[in-house]
A and B are shown apart, each in its own frame.
Chain A
Amino acid sequence: MARSPTTSTNDVFINCPFDRDYAPTFQALIFTIFACKFRPRSARELDDGGQTRIDKLFRLIGECRYGIHDLSRTELDAANQLPRFNMPLELGIFMGARRYGGEEQKLKRILILDIERFRYQRFISDIAGSDIHAHGGDPFVALRETRDWLKNVSRRQIPSAARIERLYREFLAALPDLAAALEFEPDRIPYVDFETIVTDWLLAVPAA
């Protein structure tokens, strides 16, 4: 029987859409997670060859203590008239790891985000009773929900939501200049580069 993967108590799996409309919320989640001394993990890491994508996802999910799952994208795709199923699938894998995994996997914690708090009842009612929070499509609400949830489930000392929001607004104000200096479009910065920008920004920006 395969051993359960070792989890990191610092790693937060972000299961979310990767489209351009969602980018502001994805960026806010990455910033918040780093600002709270955690480390974001995402399927965006999985571009290299080797294992099949689903095997990489199993490994990635197994390595994360925490999971943030955004179910915002339930509408039909304009081109194919079909919904995107990757987010509910990855939520199911995460829940399955917690349910059937070893000692460490059972300590996994899950935050489910959606546009409205009870909308899930119309498309994925089996998750009733889970910790579901609404962000209304607002990245700053997602920031606060994420910060408050990390504080609650980890019981660590982390910055206040007001401080993280202030810092994130400062970061966003500087982002166009940073992106221009690095020859990126502000809303199309590659994932790995965006992480480097966030972490080095947090290290460089002075205390208020």
Chain B
Amino acid sequence: MNMASRADSSVSKPAKETSTVLGRSAATGMFVLKPYPGKGTVSRRAVQSAIKTVLAKKK
């Protein structure tokens, strides 16, 4: 069978989804999925704060 014809939409019994959406990216126009759960070294809040600072500097 052609690989391309066996797309997700052709699955008769959809797989159980464990992934969840974090939000929508304006840059890609796509939803962004939450990473698989794991213990990080730094908090998500710290990451968001660092990104905000770096993006502000770019302007």
Question: Smallest CB–CB gap between B15 and chain A, Å?
Answer: 5
Contact with A along B30-59 (1 / 0, CB 8 A): 111111101111101011111111110110
Number of A-B contacts (CB under 8 A): 147
Q: Which residue of B lies closest to A158 (CB)?
A: B30
A156 at the interface (CB under 8 A from B): yes
Assess the A202–B33 pair: CB atoms within 8 A.
no
A113 at the interface (CB under 8 A from B): no
A178 at the interface (CB under 8 A from B): yes
Q: Which residue of B lies closest to A154 (CB)?
A: B8
- Neighbour of B33 across the interface among A39, A190, A191, A196, CB < 8 A: A39
Assess the B13–A103 pair: CB atoms within 8 A.
yes
Chain A residues proximal to chain B, CB less than 8 Å: 6-11, 34-41, 45, 63, 65, 103-104, 107, 109, 131, 152-156, 158-159, 163-164, 167, 174, 177-178, 181-182, 184, 190-193, 195-197, 199-208
Q: A184-B41, A196-B44, A204-B48 are in contact. List 16 more A-B contacts (CB 8 A).
A: A6-B16, A11-B18, A34-B35, A40-B36, A63-B18, A103-B13, A152-B4, A155-B4, A158-B30, A182-B42, A192-B40, A192-B41, A199-B32, A199-B33, A205-B27, A207-B27
The size of the chain B interface, using a CB distance under 8 A, is: 47
Q: Which residues of B contact A104 (CB under 8 A)?
A: 11, 13, 15
Q: Which residues of B contact A174 (CB under 8 A)?
A: 54-55, 58
Q: Which residues of B contact A201 (CB under 8 A)?
A: 51
A-B contact pairs, 8 of them (CB 8 A): A39-B34, A65-B8, A103-B13, A177-B54, A177-B57, A197-B47, A204-B52, A206-B55
Assess the B32–A8 pair: CB atoms within 8 A.
no
Assess the B15–A9 pair: CB atoms within 8 A.
yes
Rounded to whole angstroms, the CA-CA distance of A94 and B23 in the bound complex is 31
